[in-house]
Chain A
Amino acid sequence: MRYTINGKPVQAEVDVRTSLLDLLRDHLQLTGTKKGCDQGACGACTVLVDGDRINSCLALAVQYQGREITTIEGVGSPTDLHRLQAAFVEHDGFQCGYCTPGQICSAIGMASELERGVPSALTEDLRLKEIDLSQDEIRSGNLCRCGAYNGIVDAVHQTFARKSNNIFAKDAAE
């Protein structure tokens, strides 16, 4: 099975029962992606496939051959943080940190959905082509057991909200 993972070609031969999550963690030593519930409920295993966020625990690795996969290891590094990672640090977007890789990959996937105009369940007018980050509902697929949601929301808004809707825009202007 061949993949492109964090920009590099990767080859792996694993049992067809292997999830994409187990392939990453147990066979490729990419342990940044976490296993929480292993049934698609908690979002700790979120990775990006061709830019789209998915639950890698529910994905059979064999189905994702040939695809471009981005894990938290491909988002940033300790010396070169992604701006969302920096915002998580700034806003205390975590305590134990276990959900953080999934939160960050999910938020990056969410930002690309907003770019493409994918609406949320709470979008009032579906005819609008531009969708704002007005509803945090679109990240309900990621749980934080520590309850660091306030910091997570602040970090995501600071990084991705459009200016007109950015709760930090006023501060920035001052």
Chain B
Amino acid sequence: MIEFRYEKAKDAASAIQMFASGDRAHYLAGGTNLVDLMRENIERPETVIDVTGLSQTIEPHESGGILIGAAVKNTALAAHLGVRERFPVLTRAILAGASGQIRNMATVGGNILQRTRCNYFYDEAARCNKRDPSAGCDAIGGFNRTHAILGASPACVATHPSDMCVALAALDATVHLEGANGARSIKLIDLHRLPGGRPDVETELVPGELISAVELPPLLFAANSTYRKVRDRASFAFALVSVAAALEVGEDGAITDVRLALGGVAHKPWRATVAEQELRGAPASEETFRRAAEAELKDAVGLRDNAFKIELTKRVIVNTLQKLAMAPVAVL
């Protein structure tokens, strides 16, 4: 870890000011990813601005939506009764990630901006286009069991590691930003980028821009939502494949509304819009779910070690939707 100057911001405005006047500045929240990256010399900030003093409030609105401060801890968000009742998929996604200790440290803003856990990104002896945009990629042709099957590029096949973001993608979350040029908002699904030719540029944030809050719009049928994560061990492991889903079925057995997002399969939380289109209005049957999953994964490409994830993803989509269709309450 190189030497750095530490500053603690009391609010977003002071953090942005500190960023503008600091050399090679970086915001620091819970530190569960950034401290590790700094220790490995992958991140080398010279000014570190502690933003854990930003809002830690969770405000449910009468409309059914919820506003979440960027510095809310993962544990606090998962445990919030309003979240558990209105958006169980979000609680389940957060609790499926990391460990109790890490969830007590990690913030909502930091969870969104955490970086990939691709082994080659962490290994300074390996080539990685995220660390050096012209270096090449050792994951392609290397050990790539955990890598992307959707939206990857010849430059990068890394995945976004967050579980929470998969739920936020399904729930149409909006991310509120503040920066030197004022405040703006962006949909969570538009915040992260696909790798293309610049896998080192991971989000649409401009330098110095800061996440101040995340907003969930009202979505009444999200009371019937869940998160299914498949991984190499039952707890404290990143997803091979995960599915966040909310489902509403009418009295005639047809799907009236649905939200679907995938984790562990792409460089960003993957909103399954193609599948959603297939599902809306169709009968809530295994056949429909399978057809929708096939359509979403039509362009999936497997690498040496991860081609199994294509069929696995389809099965997890079908299974998750079946459970939601059968048990329209907040159960597993």
Contacts and interface: CB of A to CB of B under 8 A. Distances in A.
A140 B105 contact: no
Nearest to B104: A52
Contact of B78 (A119, A125, A129, A140): A119
A137 B32 contact: no
B91 A126 contact: yes
B75 A118 contact: yes
B287 interface: no
B290 interface: no
A58 B31 contact: yes
Interface stretch (A106-114, A151-159, A166-174): A106-114
B235 A140 contact: yes
Interface stretch (A27-35, A39-47, A72-80, A82-90): A39-47
Nearest to A16: B6
Interface residues of B, number: 40
Contacts of B102: 40, 55, 58, 141
Q: Name A's interface SS.
A: loop
A16 B3 CA distance: 8
Interface residues of A, number: 42
Given A119-B79, A119-B95, A110 B3 contact: no
Contact of A63 (B36, B52, B79, B96): B52
A63 B95 contact: no
Contacts of A163: none
Given A59-B31, A118-B79, A106 B100 contact: yes
Interface of B: 1, 3-6, 8, 28, 31-32, 35-36, 39, 48, 50, 52, 75, 78-79, 81, 84-85, 88, 91-92, 95-96, 98-102, 104-105, 234-236, 329-332
8 contacts: A62-B50, A106-B101, A109-B101, A110-B100, A113-B79, A119-B84, A121-B95, A121-B235
Given A40-B32, A118-B75, 14 more contacts: A17-B4, A39-B39, A41-B236, A52-B104, A116-B79, A119-B84, A121-B95, A121-B235, A124-B332, A125-B329, A137-B235, A140-B100, A140-B236, A141-B236
Q: 10 shortest A-B CB distances, which residue pairs?
A: A141-B99, A140-B235, A121-B95, A126-B84, A140-B236, A118-B79, A16-B6, A52-B104, A141-B101, A55-B101
